[in-house]
Amino acid sequence: MTSRILFVDHSAVLGGGELSLRDISRHYRETSTVLLLSDGPFRELLESEGVRVQIVHAGSSLLTARRDGSGRSVAAAAELAKLTWKLARIAGQFDLLYANSQKAFVVSALAGRLACRPVIWHLRDILSDAHFGHGNIRLVTTLANLCATRVIANSQATASAFIAQRGREAKVRVIHNGIDGAEFARVTESEALEVRHQLGLGNRRLVGVFGRFHPWKGQHVALEVLARLPDAHGLFVGAALFGEEDYAAHVRRRARELGLEHRVHFLGFRRDLPQLMRAVDLVLHTAEAPEPFGRVIVEGMLAARPVVAARAGGALEIVREGVTGLLVPPGDVDAFAAAVAGLLADPARRAALGAAAYERASREFSLDAMLRGVADEIAAVAGNRPK
């Protein structure tokens, strides 16, 4: 029997976690619903693909609770109680809860208890001081140990951080993101050339930096790298999704200070990443803190482009160093510049790495493999549900 799943996410923007949930939830759309704690483009995307969506607005103090936990005021506690109660009533119509973000997990863990429904937490963050406050980490690991039936980690790096924070290892399964390669395979040479044409780039060397703007994603590092490569252009694709507009403005300002405005192109958030990735010579990923997984790394590989990434987090599990791309110590601008310059000067090597990257990404990070992994966990959890 197909399980009725209530997927829960606090966010309705198009982040990597949400795009991955889109792939999972549409597979279960006949029987399941995605419950969002805010409204936005993610709802529209899901509905356009026939996924049922329900919005239950979380109060603002819950959604904006600060990383050090100090935002968890009395108001937030009252909102949490109200939301938990609402969610528990809805959860009664489903077989299990599947939380896709930390905030969603906190509410789902409590609601699952009230409604006697098992909870899967798809953990997509590295729980470390670089990203989260101590209180926050304690809260979610304690709730996971008490209330989650399974914790699906998006990488070994994410799983290890959870376990290092005393999350229970027996609950953890690692399932890498799988990405649909079809959209990448469909891109034609002329579409990629058109991107270059519109930017007036001809056959200039072009480095692509893809991802939402955030200080830990390290767009500022990528700028410094480009400043050391006078012949290269840079394509920056992505926007601030979670309120980091000041950082995005800082990066643009820094580009001007470095005199890069004529060779750095900020395109904002785009939905045509396959075409854009096929237009660049290589993908640069300069995260300063470990990337939990890094979908854009796999996507660059599906576009048959070598990826030069920071040697940390999920990138270590995705990139085969020297075979599909290059890894560089995080934040080491000189080492990044040397790696990128070497590849830009060597088309044959780029082609060889790109071909190996494509092969590895399609084999190891397929959508089917991810869906099979998730289905196994759902079956195991639903099968154990107390009657």
Residues of the shown chain interacting with ligand GLC in the complex, contacts defined by CB under 6 A = 15-17, 20, 124, 154, 177, 291-295, 314
- Site for ligand UDP contains 296 (CB under 6 A): yes
Closest separation between CB of residue 122 and ligand GLC, Å?
Answer: 8
- Burial (Cβ within 10 Å: 0-12, 13-18, ≥19) of residue 242: exposed
Is the sign of the CA dihedral 47, 53, 59, 60 positive or negative? Answer: negative
Length of the chain: 387
In the chain, % helix, strand, coil (3-state, to 5) comes to 50, 15, 35
- 344-354 exposure pattern, b = at least 16 Cβ within 10 A, e = fewer: beeeeebeebb
DSSP strands (E only) in 187-329 = 206-210, 233-237, 264-268, 282-285, 307-310, 325-328
What type of residue is 45? L
Q: With CB cut-offs between 5 and 8 Å by kind, which of ligand GLC, ligand UDP, none does residue 87 bind?
A: none
User: Which residues between 306 and 345 bind ligand UDP (CB under 6 A)?
Assistant: none
Structure token pair of residue 18: 């949400």
Closest separation between CB of residue 305 and ligand GLC, Å?
Answer: 18
Q: With CB cut-offs between 5 and 8 Å by kind, which of ligand UDP, ligand GLC, none does residue 224 bind?
A: none
Q: Which stretch binds ligand UDP (CB under 6 A): 24-32, 256-264, 265-273, 326-334?
A: 265-273
User: Which residues between 185 and 224 bind ligand UDP (CB under 6 A)?
Assistant: 210-212
- Site for ligand UDP contains 273 (CB under 6 A): yes
Residue whose entry in the numeric block shows the structure tokens 């959604």: 63
Closest separation between CB of residue 217 and ligand UDP, Å?
Answer: 7
User: Which residues between 226 and 255 bind ligand UDP (CB under 6 A)?
Assistant: 237-238
- Site for ligand UDP contains 118 (CB under 6 A): no
User: Which residues between 17 and 56 bind ligand UDP (CB under 6 A)?
Assistant: 17, 19
Q: Which residues bind ligand UDP (CB under 6 A)?
A: 14-17, 19, 210-212, 237-238, 269-271, 273, 293-296, 299
